[in-house]
Structure 1
């Protein structure tokens, strides 16, 4: 070859390099395309070990609710200088806009989401566009089943859904655990500290039932953590945070970083438990604490972000596209108060302000930009749900491919 070394062809590479170093780094959609290239690639990318490794490499991204104006639930992707959004299946314009038939996200875990449609609950994989109906402990008129947790049970590797069933006729509550792939749910007796009473147990279930309107629990060290509104009335002074040990299936209480808080939520930051709260009634500043010592329940103040940091920069713009040319329009009002906080990545936070807008801010309080859905900004909420792409099939369920007749695309039950 005239003294030159022959160029290395893709086919010459060892299979482990092709699979482990190339295919496992591709976006989920491209992995699907590669499965059509050859039988060996299809076999390699269909192995559970490959699918789990591919999932591990995907970023964990926040889910934003656009309240169908114009989008429903979208995944916000960090693309450097800007953030882009991608509509999350099955929440797209083809879905029904009627409230009783609308798809509503209840929980998310490892690339799976729990979707409520009317009284029914489904587990869905948005990447593979597959879904399966979940069996409910009680069904029919007079009963409600509320998802309060969705997690992976590490000893068994099963995915489990924690539900509260409510009899609306007599206002009775019961706790149930459903293993994804099983045909029925299992009743979970309430186990709490020794000084608990039946009235406290009822308050606990009622409080967790109401937590369905609050952020989802944070899973950390094998436990689920909630901080519902009015938690002190539930725990009777035991703490402001409710903790459920997913292995022992028992409850306990935990102290929050501060009792003097007008608004606050738990969230996950860099793999640990974090808490944000407004310490003033005007909501003009937020403090962010991170759990420093879990066993001793010691929190450390990590950041403080207030409106004055942003007031020094008046370059707050809504961006729209008209005739393929960018046009910047100033906001009608400056930042007045903060409503919610979520994590975008290791260096950036998402902050909802003035009841409807979301901005990007680094951990030093520097303003980085306004979040847009599509080409414009709309009313939106931070759900605290996160999505990490997965091509793993729904456990123990035959995958159902999305088609024109599916209730998730047509809006028909």
Structure 2
């Protein structure tokens, strides 16, 4: 009929509505939209769009299934989903042997740092881009450890905190102290920084602090990096058992964890929906735990914590629905799944209400914070030989700074 308008096109919508629609797309779809028309390419290519798009992505836990032949995968955040994505976390393609895989080191804002053959790369899995990172004092006798990847708030630069040390068995190792370097991603040379602490402490204590940092990856919170390594209270002279690296001032300070942390040898940090969470383990033996207590940071400035919930084997056993459904094995035989939870090995957060728990050194289950069983994590047909990593990744279209 005359005067009847055809279907509305996306270009007919106001610019703010179009931008909101584009921001809701996954990274791969944004890349496809850039090839549709120039206006969409321009709208999705600004730094502001990339940062806002990354902010809207959920932080997904990374599962290590290298020994199951599936590589590293991201677990979806949809409620109740027990199957992991079949999309490998590039550059970890499935099917290659674990000894040929690069090692995942750190994550931040959609970037990951991997090490392969003593070289470090910063990668963006969503865009399949990577850049080789220069290293300080790289060569025989020297060892570089990536301590953290962070975004410097004032400049917007992505920076890498690197610990440089000398092999303790080397002939001149007594002559060299461990040193700290910061590398701005996109630059040629790492710069040496002093190990400044607040309050001031003697040089020997600062060296002890450096020695304790490389034992575990840090937790990101409020833009800062947090560690709670074994014996941290002794390293800090009683000032606290959490080591904090202020990424703006590029100096260290100490924070107190919950009181029971001083009595526990086994602990780790988790990100709990924007809050810093502290997990304390009660073990039957090393790496075999019967129970876990989860604490959350209540007031960052006051360094106060609140107890959230306990998790123990008996709670999960009482509410679980694990069964002995046969699963296929490599020789096409049916093998019953050993589903009895005897001990925990590790834990990770999916979101504020859902947990991933590795048990019996074999399987990963998904449950809520009340212990209700939500399903076994499966990658393809595999339900075994999976490990939880301490890393979470927000997929991002932010380009890697480089020259």
1:188-237: per-residue Cα shift (whole Å, max 9, x none)? 1111245622221221111113x2xx2x2112234211011222332232
More displaced stretch, 232-241 vs 299-308: 232-241
Q: 2:396 aligns with which of 383, 390, 394?
A: 390
Residue 300 (structure 1) aligned to one of 286, 303, 306: 306
Tell me, yes or no, if structure 1 residue 190 matches structure 2 residue 195: yes
- Shift in Å, 1:375: 1.9
Give the conservation status (yes or no) of the 8 Å contact 1:144–1:165.
Answer: yes
- Quote the Cα distance in structure 2 between the aligned partners of 1:268 and 1:224: 12
Q: Distance in 1 between the 2:372 and 2:320 partners?
A: 12
SS class of match (2:401): coil
1:368 is the counterpart of 2:374: yes
Detail structure 1 runs of 4+ shifted over 4 Å in the superposition. 317-322, 327-330
Q: What is the rounded CA distance, in whole Å, between the counterparts of 2:15 and 2:231 in structure 1?
A: 54
Structure 1, unpaired ranges of 5+: 398-413
Q: Distance in 2 between matches of 1:94 and 1:355?
A: 22
Q: Name stretches of at least 5 consecutive residues in structure 2 with no aligned partner.
A: none
CA distance in 2, matches of 1:292, 1:190: 29
Compute the TM-score of the two structures, normalised by the length of structure 1.
Answer: 0.87
Match of 2:209 in 1: 204
What residue number does 2:79 align with?
Answer: 80
Structure 1 residue 351: Cα displacement? 1.4
Q: Report the Cα distance in structure 2 between the residues aligned to 1:147 and 1:93, rounded to whole angstroms.
A: 25
The aligned counterpart of 1:62 is 61
Match of 1:10 in 2: 9
Q: How many residues align?
A: 387
User: What pairs with 1:124-273 in structure 2 (closer than 5 Å)?
Assistant: 124-168=123-167, 169=170, 170=173, 172-194=177-199, 196-209=201-214, 211=215, 214=216, 216-257=217-258, 258=260, 259-273=262-276
- Counterparts in 2 of 1:319 and 1:226: CA distance versus 1, 3 Å: farther
2:22 alignment partner in structure 1: 23
Q: Deviations over 1:18-76 (max 9, x none)?
A: 63132221221122222222222222222222222222221110111113321222111
Q: Is the Cα contact below 8 Å between 2:199 and 2:253 reproduced in 1?
A: no
Q: 1:354 to 1:191 in 2, by over 3 A?
A: same
TM-score normalised over the length of structure 2: 0.89
What's the CA shift string for 1:90-129, capped at 9, x where partnerless? 011365x363x53111100001111101111111111111
The CA deviation at 1:318 is: 7.1
**CA, structure 1 residues 319+297, in 2 after alignment: closer, same or farther (shift >3 Å)?**
farther
Q: Tell me whether 71-80 or 139-148 shows the greater mean CA deviation.
A: 71-80
Counterparts of 1:318 and 1:376, CA distance in 2 = 15
Q: Deviations over 1:330-377 (max 9, x none)?
A: 532511122222110232111122233211111222111111122221
Provide the C-alpha distance between the structure 2 equivalents of 1:137 and 1:146, rounded to a whole number of angstroms.
10
Give, in whole Å, the separation in 1 of the partners of 2:248 and 2:16.
38
Instruction: Supply the RMSD in Å over aligned alpha carbons.
Output: 2.4
Secondary structure of residue in 2 paired with 1:136 = coil
- Judge conservation of contact 2:242–2:257 (CA < 8 Å) in 1: yes
User: SS of 1:19's equivalent?
Assistant: helix
Distance in 2 of aligned mates of 1:173 and 1:242: 17
Change (3 A) 1:37 1:382: same
Distance 1:20 1:370 in 2: 38
Paired residues of 1:231 and 1:241 also in contact (CA < 8 A):
yes
**Residue correspondence of structure 1 range 334-349 to structure 2 within 5 A:** 334-349=340-355
Relative to structure 1, the CA distance from residue 356 to residue 332 in structure 2 (aligned partners, 3 Å threshold; closer, same or farther) is: closer
